[in-house]
Amino acid sequence: MTLKRPSLVRYLTLLVVYIFVVCATAQAQSNADLGQYRLGSGDVVKITVFGQEDLSVQTRLSNIGAINYPFLGDINLVGLTVNEVESKIDTGLRGDYLVNPSVFVTVLEYRPFFIDGAVNRPGGYPYQPGLSVNKAAALAGGFTERASREKIIIVRKITGVETTIEAAASDVILPGDIVTVQERFF
């Protein structure tokens, strides 16, 4: 039995659409995770005010998390989302300094994550959006022979409190996470 040409074209079209939907869904989930992302020390942010070059700033957040912003002085950014920072700067500049400021904040570089335990090269690595425990282990030289892919712990700060999460190898990690891959007994 041979496939007719229209059937093959239709099949390939459906396959391409399916792959596109799967990729778009994964990207949307990654963006949703980072949409509520709270800034922390070590993040590099860029603040741009449209048409106002002297108000555009690029900086790495220190341990204190405060930056000195023109006209507004010290602003604490740690714990805020990108949208909250935009709103805070917009509110501060509106009226006294600018009539209708257009403020855009982007995270240029996320703070690193750390991986230790049963991986070949434990340490700190630059975070990349969409990073899973498997991908993090790959960055760290892969799992060791004795690594347990079922016993993985993530330590994450949630609203300022360190929380321990039991994770699977496919779980997503976030900037600042500490991932520990435990060893198996056999």
In this prediction, residue 8 has a pLDDT band, given cuts at 50, 70 and 90, of low
According to the model, what pLDDT value does residue 21 have?
Answer: 44
Class of domain 113-183: alpha beta
Band the pLDDT of 46: cuts 50, 70, 90: very high
> In angstroms, rounded to a whole number, what is the distance separating the alpha carbons of residues 157 and 47?
25
The 10s digit of each residue's pLDDT in 48-94 is: 999 999 999 999 998 888 899 998 999 999 889 999 999 999 999 98
| pLDDT at position 107 over 50 | yes
Least confident of 8-17, 72-81, 162-171: 8-17
Domain boundaries, the chain: 1-35, 44-109, 113-183
CA distance 177 to 112: 8
User: What's residue 22's pLDDT?
Assistant: 42
| pLDDT exceeds cutoff 70 at 24 | no
Copy the structure tokens of residue 19.
Answer: 């792959």
Regarding the domain delimited by 44-109, which CATH topology (the fold level of the hierarchy) does it fall under?
wza like fold (3.30.1950)
Residue 33 reports pLDDT greater than 90:
no
The answer on pLDDT for 7 being more than 80 is no
Identify the weakest region by mean pLDDT among 99-103, 112-116, 136-140: 99-103
Alpha-carbon torsion (50, 52, 55, 59), positive or negative = positive
pLDDT of 15 above 60: no
* Residues 115-166: tens digit of each pLDDT: 999 999 999 999 988 999 999 999 999 999 998 888 999 999 887 789 999 9
Rounded CA separation 43/39 (Å): 7
pLDDT value, residue 23:
41
* Residue owning tokens 């048409």: 51
Pairing of strands 113-117, 178-183: parallel
